[in-house]
Amino acid sequence: MKKHKLKLFGQIVVLSATMMMVSSCKKETIDIDPTKIIGVERYITTTAAMPQSTDKAYLDYADGRKVKWESADSLNINGTNLPLTRLNADLTKAWFEGTTYAIPSGSDEIYWAVYPAAIVGTASGSTIPSNFTASTLTVNFPSTQTYNSSVNALNGNTCMAAFASVPAGQTDLSFFMKNLGTVLKLNLKAAASATNKQATKIEFTTTNGALAGAFSVSNGSTPTVTPTANVTKVLTVNLTDGNNNYIDLSTPKDIYVILPPLASKNLTMTIYNTDNKQTNKTMASATLERNKIYTNTINDLCFCECGGGTPYFSVSATKQVVFAPGNLQYRASTGTWRFAEHQWDFIGAANSNISPSYSGWIDLFGWGTSGYDNTANDPYAINFQPWASSLGIVDTTYNYYGYGPSTNMADLNLVGTSAYYDWGVYNEIFNPKTSTTDPAGTWRTPTRAEWTYILNTRTTCSGVRYALATVNNMPGLIIVPDNWDVNTYALSRINNHRDAAFTANTISSTDWTNIFEPAGCAFLPAAGLRRASVLLNNVGDGGFYHSATSLNSIGAYQFYFFSSNVYTGGNNSRCYGTSVRIVKEVK
């Protein structure tokens, strides 16, 4: 069956094919009961017409494209394929002729018509399959379909059927075809961050219902379609542009999929690209009813190796990073930098001991306090030491408290000519995960825009970006990588910047070590905030993390969170001591 230009004057109303934009019909077979019954041989002529727009699942395009019969089509009537012998002028109506076998039923004879012809098998001689009865038959929804974007058509079964009861001996039949399934119209587009936008296939799975295989069909005016024992919960739709075995999703594409009626809240779509990377999406529809069209728009396919590959975090459409293995820590007495041994570790109240000779560790720092002395070029940047805690006013115009690059510098953020104000750029840092010291310049502080992208903008395979949690009894924020597999661990209250809570997810140190950390997750503890040598927020109340972006001569942008809120566009005074979690670019 192919689509042609419409010239309307059909005579018989027939309900639509489950998929209306069909270019050809892939022949599918099913196993049928081998038991045979005797039928009455009849030479018949039957008519069939394409559906009118009253059918809900009928795809009626503004440019007049509609589904039409083509000369190679056949109609299966009671197990025998009858070839098409004549078409109406507008191609909406077709005649089929040949010998088939009627099912005797009192003074009437029973006929089933099924399209495409092969979905119920065939019969020969004077017998017909026993699954053809006056009440039901069995049809097969294909487990593999192919969608061709060049003709905007699906090569696969339309799954139509019709029932007729006529006086015994009548040889002129008319069938009012009815949809057995539904149409899922997907509008797909790759995310701007996707490096490979060529989609090869879609795999559908469900935990409730069936997506392909043998279904029993009733002959009522509103047919019921019921899965048998011989069904599967998996359906594959292969994609092609007519020349290649993929579809370029740089621009949106409409893709039509045939599905049986489905009562499910768990229809998952996995879309693959030519690198075999994938994006998982869940369709939140409780029921897919027979003879309807459902539209689902997905425009953020990232193809980001869900559950495999490098666990990185996108900070822009073209740049990815990994997080340091813990918060940054400093010992003034030895001038030593290191990462915390565990991601949940933080110093807390001991930060009040901050001084140039303190032999313990601190982990709350004023903005731009990497130890980089640039006072020869920037005389107002006097509080550059990691132990700086002064609240004294230095200059009310260019650098109010004397932290970080002054606003009269060429780069007033921790980048470019001012990059050495960044802790990771300027310093060697001991890495407890590798037991080695990372050279200066290995790590850097995320910008305000990058923190916002990580938490609010980026596309992940699972749809999860972050969740408040308690890890090893320490409150904080989990940030999952782009390729996080949602099946790895069930997180609650995901991406919730309000009304969340640290208790939403309680994770043991064992689970973090064995599950989250190997998957590349980052945990940022709620380590508090320091003003001079006083903690303004008690340990565990909130987490405050520097960005590389200046607000003005007084403040700098920060990302911070509490037990009920997550803020990506916050700011604080440059003199406030907060946590530093730095990143390393990987792409």
- Confidence at residue 65, expressed as pLDDT on a 0 to 100 scale: 39
How far apart CA 141 and CA 214 sit, in angstroms, is 7
How far apart CA 266 and CA 283 sit, in angstroms, is 7
- Confidence at residue 184, expressed as pLDDT on a 0 to 100 scale: 84
Measured in whole angstroms, how far is the alpha carbon of residue 553 from the centre of its chain?
42
Per-residue exposure over 172-196, b if at least 16 CB sit within 10 Å of its own CB, e if not: ebebbbbbbbbbbbbebbbbebbee
**Residue with the larger pLDDT of the pair 569 and 507:** 507
Please compute the mean of the pLDDT values over residues 507-530 and round it to a whole number. 95
- Confidence at residue 21, expressed as pLDDT on a 0 to 100 scale: 29
Q: Is 272 helix (H, G, I), strand (E, B) or coil?
A: strand
How far apart CA 174 and CA 48 sit, in angstroms, is 7
**Residue with the larger pLDDT of the pair 130 and 544:** 544
Region at 242 (left for phi over 0; alpha for psi -120 to 50; beta for the rest): left
pLDDT digits (tens, 9 = 90+) for 458-472: 888 788 999 999 999
- Confidence at residue 130, expressed as pLDDT on a 0 to 100 scale: 60
pLDDT digits (tens, 9 = 90+) for 198-233: 999 999 988 777 899 888 888 777 888 888 888 888
Residue showing tokens 């425009």: 299
The pLDDT confidence band at residue 94, using thresholds 50, 70 and 90, is confident
- Confidence at residue 127, expressed as pLDDT on a 0 to 100 scale: 58
Q: Is 118 helix (H, G, I), strand (E, B) or coil?
A: helix
**Which of 84, 179, 105 is closest to 141 using CA atoms?**
179
CA distances from 469 to 57, 517, 528 (A): 45, 14, 16
How far apart CA 537 and CA 563 sit, in angstroms, is 12
| pTM of the complete model beyond 0.85 | no
pLDDT exceeds cutoff 50 at 294: yes
- Confidence at residue 510, expressed as pLDDT on a 0 to 100 scale: 95
8 A C-beta contact, residue 493 and residue 504:
yes
How far apart CA 161 and CA 115 sit, in angstroms, is 6
The residues pairing with 337 across neighbouring beta strands, listed in sequence order, are 330
Task: Kindly state the DSSP code that residue 463 receives in the 8-state scheme.
Answer: S
% of the chain exceeding 70 in pLDDT: 82
Sheet with 466-471: list strands edge to edge. Answer: 506-507, 466-471, 474-479, 522-525
Task: Kindly state the DSSP code that residue 447 receives in the 8-state scheme.
Answer: P
pLDDT exceeds cutoff 60 at 350: yes
- For CA atoms 222, 226, 231, 235, the dihedral sign is positive
How far apart CA 135 and CA 142 sit, in angstroms, is 23
8 A C-beta contact, residue 93 and residue 11:
yes
A 10 A CB-CB count for 335 gives 11
How many CA atoms within 13 Å lie on the side-chain side of 149?
Answer: 25
**Residue with the larger pLDDT of the pair 154 and 338:** 338
CA distances from 85 to 95, 383, 441 (A): 6, 91, 77
pLDDT digits (tens, 9 = 90+) for 21-69: 233 333 333 333 434 456 777 888 887 765 554 444 444 444 333 456 6
8 A C-beta contact, residue 185 and residue 19:
no
- Give burial (CB, 10 Å; 0-12/13-18/19+) of 488: middle
pLDDT digits (tens, 9 = 90+) for 111-168: 888 887 766 655 555 556 665 666 778 888 888 888 877 766 554 446 788 888 899 9
How far apart CA 121 and CA 112 sit, in angstroms, is 13
pLDDT digits (tens, 9 = 90+) for 357-368: 999 999 999 999
**Residue with the larger pLDDT of the pair 77 and 328:** 328
Per-residue exposure over 366-399, b if at least 16 CB sit within 10 Å of its own CB, e if not: bbbbbbbebeeebebbbbbbbbbbeeeebbeebb
- For CA atoms 336, 342, 345, 346, the dihedral sign is positive
Token digits of residue 435? 């037991």
**Residue with the larger pLDDT of the pair 325 and 159:** 325
pLDDT digits (tens, 9 = 90+) for 242-252: 899 999 999 99
The chain-wide mean pLDDT, for the chain, equals 83
Top mean pLDDT of 227-236, 404-413, 480-489 is at 404-413
**Which of 189, 116, 183 is closest to 153 using CA atoms?**
183
Instruction: State which H helix or E strand residue 337 sits in.
Output: strand 336-339
Measured in whole angstroms, how far is the alpha carbon of residue 137 from the centre of its chain?
37
Instruction: State which H helix or E strand residue 423 sits in.
Output: helix 423-426
Please compute the mean of the pLDDT values over residues 327-333 and round it to a whole number. 98
pLDDT exceeds cutoff 70 at 5: no
